[in-house]
């Protein structure tokens, strides 16, 4: 099981970290902070510069997930980013990723929650520090989902200008 958890953590965490590097540093043909700031501004966010930095750093925290360090907190970051991406961009396109849907986001979200329930496994920093028994289990997974939903709702409602919310509701 530890090898499977390691594979999941490294692939999902590495994917998230690479997306974060696109946003933070412009690596891998990414937009950099300026491009993310413009995108978030167009989506009606109040503080697009701060939100862009927060988004990029949260995605870069995929490195923590890959390493199995503070695993449920890294999973929470992944879950919030995926819920926001689905709500803002992908849900309207349906399920299938080929049509811009939320299929891929759902997979990443599911892996993050599952690993927070199962724990990071033998090959993790959490295990090396003796934290893995205290930072995993069903209630950690429930907590990740609950906190992610609350943080996502707060980001999508409080973090955006009211006129954009009204326009989105009317559409």
Q: Kindly list the domain boundaries of the chain, sorted by start residue.
A: 2-170
Rounded to whole angstroms, what are the CA distances from 118 to 46, 114, 135, 155, 167?
Answer: 37, 6, 10, 28, 41
Q: How confident is the model at residue 168 (pLDDT cuts 50, 70, 90)?
A: low
pTM value is: 0.91
Taking a C-beta distance cutoff of 8 angstroms, is the pair 71, 116 a contact?
A: yes
Closest CA to 15 of 127, 108, 129: 108
What residues are paired with 160 via a beta bridge? 45
* Span 17-76, pLDDT tens digits: 999 999 999 999 999 999 999 999 999 999 999 999 999 999 999 999 999 999 999 999
Residue 45 phi, psi (nearest 5): -75, 140
């Amino acid at each position: 099981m530890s090898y499977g958890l390691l594979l999941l953590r490294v692939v999902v965490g590495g994917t998230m970290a690479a997306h974060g590097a696109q946003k933070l540093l412009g690596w891998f043909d990414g937009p950099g902070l300026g491009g993310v700031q413009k995108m978030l501004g167009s989506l009606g966010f109040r503080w697009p510069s701060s939100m862009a930095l927060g988004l990029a750093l949260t995605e870069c925290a995929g490195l923590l997930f890959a390493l199995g360090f503070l695993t449920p907190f890294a999973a929470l970051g992944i879950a919030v980013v995926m819920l926001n991406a689905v709500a803002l961009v992908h849900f309207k396109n349906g399920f299938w990723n080929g049509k811009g849907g939320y299929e891929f986001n759902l997979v990443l979200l599911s892996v993050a929650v599952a690993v927070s329930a199962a724990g990071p496994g033998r090959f993790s920093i959490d295990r090396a520090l003796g934290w893995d028994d205290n930072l995993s289990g069903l209630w950690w997974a429930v907590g990740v989902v609950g906190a992610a939903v609350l943080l996502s709702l707060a980001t999508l409602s409080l973090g955006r200008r009211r006129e954009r919310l009204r326009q989105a509701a009317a559409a």
